[in-house]
Structure 1
Amino acid sequence: MASNLIIRKLLSNKEQGLKNVSNVFRSVSEYGSTCPCHGIRQGLCKGSSSLNNVNNNNKSVSTTTTTSSVTPLIFDMKSSTSSSSSSSIITNTNIINNNNYNNLGRYSSTATVQPDYDYAFEVSAANIRFGKGVTREVGQDLKALNAKYVCVFTDPNLVALGNSSPVWTVCESLKNNGINFVLYDKVCIEPTDHSFKDAIQFVKQHERPFDAFVAVGGGSTMDTAKAANLYTTYPTDNFLEYVNAPIGLGRPIPGPLKPLIAIPTTAGTGSEATGVAVFHLVDMNAKTGISNRKLKPTLGIVDPDNTRTMPRTVAIASGFDQLCHALESFTAIPFNRRSPRPASPSLRPSYQGSNPVADIWALQSLELIHKYLPLAVEDPSNDEARAQVMLGATFAGIGIENAGVHLCHGMSYAVSGMVRDYKPEGYNTDKPMIPHGLSVVLHAPAVFNFTGISNPQRHLHCAKLMGADITNVRDEDSGRVLSDQIRKIMRRLDVPDGLTAVGYNHNDIPALVTGTLPQHRVTKLSPRPVGAEELTKLFEDSMTIY
């Protein structure tokens, strides 16, 4: 009887099963197994039988590979009873063929083999608790960690909200659970190395060492707490020691850090799920950061109640940061095209390139942000929309923690660092600044128009999730179609019209290019290689958007 039920179930899912088989082959084609003759991905080997099978007959699916050292991870969350708004989550939609390879020379099957490509990806799991009102649980979490003395980080804007602030909720929870704490409320929005050092010194000056840290705020607060935790746990005379190369020395973090609980009050940075802390290096007038999995918070408490007081412009900027996290991690160079191969597993970067696991988080985030960000911005009382945007931000954070970002973020650092006199509405700041998410998304239309040809099907899949009709769209138009969808949501939410709207002009482009070139950690993940010439064109195309 049970066997009959199983057979009927399999027959009813026949079409979906065939799709899954196709998806398995597609994932192997991009990420898949290695050829025995060169030790590289089969799709790059002229002698690979699986590549020949695809090129000779794209209508047939071969499930035979010469080796299978990597088992692709395929997840399909669409059932036969799902609603029309649901979407099949796939790891790759591109069947490799000669035409796709020859669109970009470095993907050609005749290209010189580079033996130092990486061959593995590593998944870094984030500890996340999501739910309305979960901020009240933080005291119990710290008690369970046996923390007796805690430093709470936040910014003055949240403190000024009084007893309606998430900071108040955190402090009450700590008091109720007998946790002694000290409040540091001088976090700088869009932090600098100077503001990081101020926070580090604040922690150092207390004779009694802190057992744990809590960050209540946006990405700036969470990143500041990460830096304070690092530099007080493993002090160094050279601040640049842990900062990403080539700006810093890029030294690995020697060991585990103290517990850090991150409680975001914005929806976009995803910092509660990442081992990254970003700041502006004043002396070099450049934005850079520290990236190491050990920086990742012990727990991220994601509470939709905490975004109720978020100003409209903050919601827009942080939401577009999330959008670009999802798009960039999904379209980044595949992990097995990244070089150099690390000398040891401990040196494998978290920004390792797109991979099947990170893809899942990126695509789910993209769906949520496209559907709910406009609703949450236009009606802040829409609790469901705000909750879904916040959840999507965490999804995207997990995605970039395991894949990375590329050109939108790489170009944004120079734009944020060289700001002259732009002061955005809704940000209580006495200095010029360009919010991080805004500096990122201003490049998105130009960037994805440029990268589209590297993998048309991936870009078209993103465009479809953002509402585009991709029927009969040519591969060479994939970047334009995705860029058009990005422009639509930017225009709907009144994002400034390009770099000119935030104070830049064409004379600034050489300096912007110079500021972007050192951002190797992210720019090297671009699916198309970029140098000064390509960056110049991208900045030119970003001067105006609409």
Structure 2
Amino acid sequence: MAAAGRDRVVHLLRQLQRAACQCPTHSHTYSQAPGLPASEKTTDYAFEMAVSNIRYGAGVTKEVGMDLQNMGAKNVCLMTDKNLSQLPPVEVVMNSLTKNGINFKVYDNVRVEPTDKSFVEAIEFAKRGAFDAYVAVGGGSTIDTCKAANLYASSPDGDFLDYVNDPIGKGKPVTVTLKPLIAVPTTAGTGSETTGVAIFDYEHLKVKTGIASRAIKPTLGIIDPLHTLHMPPRVVANSGFDVLCHALESYTALPYHMRSPCPSNPVNRPAYQGSNPISDVWAIQALQIVAKYLKRAVRNPDDLEARSNMHLASVFAGIGFGNAGVHLCHGMSYPISGLVKMYKAKDYNVDHSLVPHGLSVVLTSPAVFTFTAQMFPERHLETAKILGKSN
């Protein structure tokens, strides 16, 4: 029975692996190069790691103006959303830019859970501005929107669907040189400051899709835990659920040496390669932090220790899944969030229906891990123990 269950899980994970269109954010099949011949059957034997530069520290946001000055930036785009534009994180960034003589323009029309329309509006702003650097201040929605704006402003003659994943878009590899992008995350969940992925709702087809390329990773992630003190409790909880599932899914993903086909050239190796020894380290560390600090971070908005550690956990899990990928929880989260049209989550100051990403992900997690436990019971038992299961 155990062998049969394991075979079922392997079969499903392989099916997911081959279905690149189902989960552009985390699919193990993503590559920046054309597909390999179907006749190539051997599994891979190697993995590689890619991650943005990261700087961590309470108050470190004040250095962003110096970073841009060091880069020689003369005309900067500052992206955020309407709510955050009135809060201290954006004020700190603007003060730093002003103090260091950086000319900048603010785009504060980022949509929480962006769409193709909101992406295009940000792209048009970036094209008109002819910016030589970008700063994104906000959650994953803001950072992803800024990645897209940077990409398409650097490739002004292209069509919007050129870089969107196949089969929704053309899935072209990114060959243009992008401008520097500094990401200042204000939530502790997406890990977008570490990854080369930008996700949006494609409204015409009512699906969630994205752009995935190592080329669009932020140049630098500024991890300032002081910003997390402005997160309402439900935002902390849902962001924490995303961290939890990033870590659990990447740790229990199909191992890199079971992924097929083996690339004939390193450029064909996908960014999301399956669980591997390096991603495992980051995933386990993230889980240990979540187990210790998530409840505290939700219950007490002034608990800087808890919120600081959850900010780190988000980065750790982002590095893990950004190279290993995740699986069913995230794959099934897209129809959950995409099909709900009337729900407005508490503590989210938005004017449209919204199922927070972390909530849509965690809903299926009990059923998912009951199923996947048949493949790697020892890994599931290890993570359960970390999260507090005594036997």
Partner residue of 1:432? 353
Partner residue of 2:301? 380
Which amino acid is the alignment partner of residue 156 of structure 1? K
Q: Is 1:125–2:46 an aligned residue pair?
A: no
Q: Is the 8 A contact 1:100 1:455 kept in 2?
A: no
Which amino acid is the alignment partner of residue 281 of structure 2? I
Q: Give me the whole-angstrom Cα distance separating, in 2, the residues matched to 1:179 and 1:340.
A: 48
Partner residue of 2:327? 406
Please tell me whether Structure 1 or Structure 2 has the larger radius of gyration of its CA atoms. 1
Q: Is the 8 A contact 1:234 1:254 kept in 2?
A: no
Partner residue of 1:295? 216
Partner residue of 1:181? 104
Q: How does 1:144-163 map to 2 (within 5 A)?
A: 144-161=70-87
Give 3-state SS (helix, strand or coil) of 1:104's partner. Answer: helix
2:225 to 296, 304, 311: 304
User: 1:361 Cα shift?
Assistant: 0.3
Give 3-state SS (helix, strand or coil) of 1:156's partner. Answer: coil
User: 1:247 Cα shift?
Assistant: 2.5
Q: Give the TM-score normalised by structure 1.
A: 0.65
Q: Is the 8 A contact 2:196 2:216 kept in 1?
A: yes
User: 1:449 Cα shift?
Assistant: 0.8
User: 1:419 Cα shift?
Assistant: 1.5
Q: Is 1:285–2:206 an aligned residue pair?
A: yes
Q: How does 1:92-103 map to 2 (within 5 A)?
A: 103=5
Q: Is the 8 A contact 2:232 2:301 kept in 1?
A: no
User: 1:115 Cα shift?
Assistant: 2.9
RMSD: 1.7
Q: Give me the whole-angstrom Cα distance separating, in 1, the residues matched to 2:292 and 2:244.
A: 11
User: 1:117 Cα shift?
Assistant: 1.9
User: 1:240 Cα shift?
Assistant: 1.9
Partner residue of 1:339? 260
1:446 to 351, 367, 371: 367
User: 1:237 Cα shift?
Assistant: 4.1
Q: Is the 8 A contact 2:296 2:306 kept in 1?
A: yes
User: 1:248 Cα shift?
Assistant: 2.4
Q: Write the deviation string for residues 15-60 of structure 1: whole angstroms up to 9, x where unpaired.
A: xxxxxxxxxxxxxxxxxxxxxxxxxxxxxxxxxxxxxxxxxxxxxx
Q: Write the deviation string for residues 209-258 of structure 1: whole angstroms up to 9, x where unpaired.
A: 21110000000000000000111112354322211223222211114311
Partner residue of 2:69? 143
Q: Give the TM-score normalised by structure 2.
A: 0.90
Partner residue of 1:460? 381
Give 3-state SS (helix, strand or coil) of 2:270's partner. Answer: coil
User: 1:313 Cα shift?
Assistant: 1.2
Give 3-state SS (helix, strand or coil) of 1:216's partner. Answer: strand
Query: Structure 1: where are the runs of 5+ without partners?
Result: 1-98, 471-546
Partner residue of 2:27? none
Query: Structure 2: where are the runs of 5+ without partners?
Result: 12-38
2:163 to 238, 242, 248: 242
Partner residue of 1:166? 89
Q: Is the 8 A contact 2:43 2:261 kept in 1?
A: yes
Q: Give me the whole-angstrom Cα distance separating, in 2, the residues matched to 1:265 and 1:125.
A: 19
User: 1:372 Cα shift?
Assistant: 0.3
Q: Write the deviation string for residues 330-360 of structure 1: whole angstroms up to 9, x where unpaired.
A: 0000112112333432232211111000000
Q: Cα gap change, 1:236/1:316 in structure 2, threshold over 3 Å: closer, same or farther?
A: farther
Partner residue of 1:105? 7
Q: Give me the whole-angstrom Cα distance separating, in 1, the residues matched to 2:97 and 2:265.
A: 41
Q: Give me the whole-angstrom Cα distance separating, in 2, the residues matched to 1:116 and 1:415.
A: 35
Q: Give me the whole-angstrom Cα distance separating, in 2, the residues matched to 1:247 and 1:374.
A: 39
Which amino acid is the alignment partner of residue 189 of structure 1? V
Q: Which aligned segments of 4 or more residues in structure 1 are displaced greater than 4 angstroms? A: 99-103
User: 1:182 Cα shift?
Assistant: 0.5
Q: Give me the whole-angstrom Cα distance separating, in 2, the residues matched to 1:102 and 1:422.
A: 40
Q: Give me the whole-angstrom Cα distance separating, in 2, the residues matched to 1:402 and 1:256.
A: 22
Partner residue of 1:223? 144
User: 1:166 Cα shift?
Assistant: 0.5
Q: Is the 8 A contact 1:329 1:400 kept in 2?
A: yes
Which amino acid is the alignment partner of residue 44 of structure 2? D
Which amino acid is the alignment partner of residue 137 of structure 1? E
Q: Give me the whole-angstrom Cα distance separating, in 1, the residues matched to 2:367 and 2:276.
A: 24
Q: Give me the whole-angstrom Cα distance separating, in 2, the residues matched to 1:391 and 1:189.
A: 22
Which amino acid is the alignment partner of residue 322 of structure 1? V
Q: Write the deviation string for residues 440-472 of structure 1: whole angstroms up to 9, x where unpaired.
A: 1111111111111010001111001001123xx
Number of residue-to-residue matches in the alignment: 363
Q: Write the deviation string for residues 307-343 of structure 1: whole angstroms up to 9, x where unpaired.
A: 1111111111111011000001000001121123334
User: 1:295 Cα shift?
Assistant: 1.2
Partner residue of 2:122? 199
Tell which deviates more after alignment, 237-246 or 135-144.
Answer: 237-246
Q: Is the 8 A contact 2:40 2:262 kept in 1?
A: no
